[in-house]
Amino acid sequence: MRAKPGRLAIRALLALACAASTLGAWGADAASGTDSWVLAASKFDAPSLPEIYSSYPEALPLMVIQGLSGGFVRRLPPEERAERALADYRDGLEALVKEREDLILARDRLLFDPASPVVTSRKQREADAKIRAKEKEIALYQKKGATVPARSAKVQASSADGENDVRVTLWESGKKLSALKPGATAREIKDSGADGFLWGSLEDVAGYLVVSMGIATGFGGDTPVEAVAAGPYEDLDLIVASLVASVRTTLSYLEPVTLRFETSPPEASVYVDGSRLPPGTDRLVVPSGAHDIVASAEGFAPPAKSGDFSGSPAFLVSVTLERETATAIAFSTSVTGSLVYLETRYIGEAPVETAIPPRITLGQAVTGDVPTWFYIDPSEGAESWAVETETVKTKTRIDTQRSILYWSLGALYISLPASMFTYAVFQDKLRAYNAGYLPYEQATVDDINGWMRASQATQALSIGLGINYAIQLARYFLAAERALPKKARPGRQ
């Protein structure tokens, strides 16, 4: 049976529409790129690191990519965009060829079809039509792919504006490390769900931590962005800040801008996009564009500035902090002699007199080895404050209550089979007695009543255990809530 001309025309139109949609999607992707550039990180090599710092090979790369993710924009280099366009084209062509191979394999399998020759012949003609349509789709795709070099030149010509800017995001939200290794190809990086990945090594040199790292995309013409930083092990945050500052501008592919800082007071700490400048640093090279700047110093209100640092190779950033007017207060705890800390600064033993800034202040009272977190809101205008200290460590309290909660749930689960079994036996015997299947004797009635009492008792036990579980769950939530800082109340205890 020959296919009707109308059906063949419809199939051809569907094939052309499918090819057009595929090529249109590829063309749009090659022209405008993606909205984000995904950065992954792998565990750093650390063959000579002391055992006490065994967590650094996993913690440090995660800290670095977190520092690179906050509002970070990357302008894709023209070479990388061209290679990505070619890679996307090759992947699309490979997928189409694979689909054609699957259609040919399905047609060849018809040779072993047990159906009648007429049916088999019809199926073969339909398979041939699908193969021809797929071949036309491949030809159109290849014809469109011939414009890739010209398209790449267009990308290169327009790479100076913000059209090719993408936002840097983190692979797996920055919570996991990738299994990629240094030297990974662009295909391996892409298959992992990333566009670039960070690798590195840690080395102990005379008691100092030396970090070497690089960021690569796997494309042949792409030179990895590399950086090296060193410092004491306890200054890990400063080492990370130095690494982030070293690679940020180069990785962004934006024009570098030098920010020079003048702060009042001079000892104020400066944070750029959440990363603290190392002490003694008064300038920083950053990519052109918007940046958030915060300065802080003890006894001063922390101001914040945001600005667009573009159009000039250097900017002077002046930050003047206003001194906070401290308020004298008296502070006491429910246990005399508790050690009092305000914002990590030791104040003395309660009761104690001190001064607090005109904003909410976080503190800690330590009784023995039991800490109690609290906060003071000076807007209430009180001159004396008090807090009830904990008598048991919050972690111990939560662990104990969690254990009780699990045992309560286990007891409830154990009681349910007995409750359901006794109830089922009681109902079965009662229905059998009412239907006349059991003899009307006192012994039978006593047996049924016995099962009824057993059912009631096991049901009451299950209900009681269920109520107990609800109570223990509420107590667990209350114990967990004690981990939150308490609000200090006005007045002495």
Q: Cβ distance 215 to 225 under 8 Å?
A: yes
| Residue at 53 is within a domain | no
| Residue at 211 is within a domain | yes
DSSP annotation of 44:
P
How far is 181 from 201, CA to CA, in rounded Å? 12
Report the pLDDT value the prediction gives residue 220, as an integer from 0 to 100. Answer: 60
**How do residues 420-429 score in pLDDT, each as one tens digit?**
999 999 999 9
- DSSP codes, 125-140: HHHHHHHHHHHHHHHH
**Range among 47-51, 62-66, 285-289, 415-419 with highest mean pLDDT value:** 415-419
Report the pLDDT value the prediction gives residue 221, as an integer from 0 to 100. Answer: 59
How far is 110 from 115, CA to CA, in rounded Å? 9
**Range among 28-32, 231-235, 275-279 with highest mean pLDDT value:** 231-235
Count of structural domains within the chain:
4
**Positive or negative: CA dihedral 101, 106, 110, 116:** negative
How far is 67 from 41, CA to CA, in rounded Å? 12
| Residue at 56 is within a domain | no
Q: Quickly state the pLDDT bin for 33 (edges 50, 70, 90).
A: very low
Task: For 333, list phi and psi in degrees, rounded to 5.
Answer: -125, 165
Classify strands 327-333 and 384-387 as parallel, antiparallel or unpaired: parallel
Domain span holding position 471: 394-481
The alpha carbon of residue 412 and the mean position of all alpha carbons in its chain are separated, in whole angstroms, by 37
Q: Cβ distance 469 to 405 under 8 Å?
A: yes
**How do residues 349-366 score in pLDDT, each as one tens digit?**
999 999 888 888 899 999
Indicate if 136 and 185 belong to the same structural domain: no
Indicate if 200 and 189 belong to the same structural domain: yes
Report the pLDDT value the prediction gives residue 476, as an integer from 0 to 100. Answer: 94
| Residue at 446 is within a domain | yes
Indicate if 178 and 304 belong to the same structural domain: yes
Report the pLDDT value the prediction gives residue 147, as an integer from 0 to 100. Answer: 66
pLDDT at residue 113 greater than cutoff 70: yes
Q: Cβ distance 241 to 67 under 8 Å?
A: yes
How far is 362 from 379, CA to CA, in rounded Å? 14
Report the pLDDT value the prediction gives residue 307, as an integer from 0 to 100. Answer: 81
Spatial strand order in the sheet of 314-320: 283-287, 256-264, 314-320
Contacts by 201-205 with C-beta closer than 8 Å and gap 24+?
201/44, 201/45, 201/46, 202/44, 202/45, 202/46, 202/49, 202/56, 202/57, 202/60, 203/46, 203/48, 203/49, 204/48, 204/49, 204/50, 205/230
Indicate if 225 and 196 belong to the same structural domain: yes
Percent of the chain with pLDDT over 90: 33
Contacts by 228-236 with C-beta closer than 8 Å and gap 24+?
230/205, 232/207, 232/208, 233/53, 233/56, 233/208, 233/209, 236/56, 236/59, 236/60, 236/63, 236/209
Q: CB 466: neighbour CB atoms within 10 A?
A: 16
Average pLDDT over residues 106-122: 85
Average pLDDT over residues 262-266: 88
pLDDT at residue 460 greater than cutoff 60: yes
**How do residues 137-165 score in pLDDT, each as one tens digit?**
888 888 877 666 544 444 444 444 556 78
Report the pLDDT value the prediction gives residue 15, as an integer from 0 to 100. Answer: 37
Indicate if 123 and 199 belong to the same structural domain: no
Q: Cβ distance 239 to 211 under 8 Å?
A: yes
**How do residues 290-329 score in pLDDT, each as one tens digit?**
888 888 887 787 777 778 888 888 999 888 888 878 788 8
Q: Which of 82, 75, 92, 118 is nearest to 19 (CA)?
A: 92
pLDDT at residue 466 greater than cutoff 90: yes
Q: CB 368: neighbour CB atoms within 10 A?
A: 12
| Residue at 242 is within a domain | yes
Average pLDDT over residues 476-493: 85
Indicate if 284 and 151 belong to the same structural domain: no
| Residue at 72 is within a domain | no
Phi-psi region of 206 (alpha: psi -120 to 50; beta: other; left: phi over 0): left
Q: Quickly state the pLDDT bin for 453 (edges 50, 70, 90).
A: very high
Where does a domain end: 158, 184, 207? 158
Report the pLDDT value the prediction gives residue 203, as an integer from 0 to 100. Answer: 92
- 265: preceding bond cis by omega (within 30 degrees): yes
pLDDT at residue 24 greater than cutoff 60: no
Q: Please state, rounded to an integer, the average pLDDT across all residues of the chain.
A: 83
DSSP annotation of 344:
T
pTM above 0.75, yes or no: no
Indicate if 403 and 378 belong to the same structural domain: no
In one-letter notation, the amino acid at residue 111 is: L
Q: Cβ distance 76 to 50 under 8 Å?
A: no
Report the pLDDT value the prediction gives residue 150, as an integer from 0 to 100. Answer: 46
Indicate if 292 and 334 belong to the same structural domain: no
Report the pLDDT value the prediction gives residue 59, as an integer from 0 to 100. Answer: 92
| Residue at 435 is within a domain | yes
Q: Quickly state the pLDDT bin for 70 (edges 50, 70, 90).
A: low
Q: Quickly state the pLDDT bin for 281 (edges 50, 70, 90).
A: confident
Report the pLDDT value the prediction gives residue 306, as an integer from 0 to 100. Answer: 76
pLDDT at residue 6 greater than cutoff 70: no
Report the pLDDT value the prediction gives residue 279, as an integer from 0 to 100. Answer: 78
Q: CB 70: neighbour CB atoms within 10 A?
A: 12
Report the pLDDT value the prediction gives residue 401, as an integer from 0 to 100. Answer: 94
Q: Quickly state the pLDDT bin for 14 (edges 50, 70, 90).
A: very low
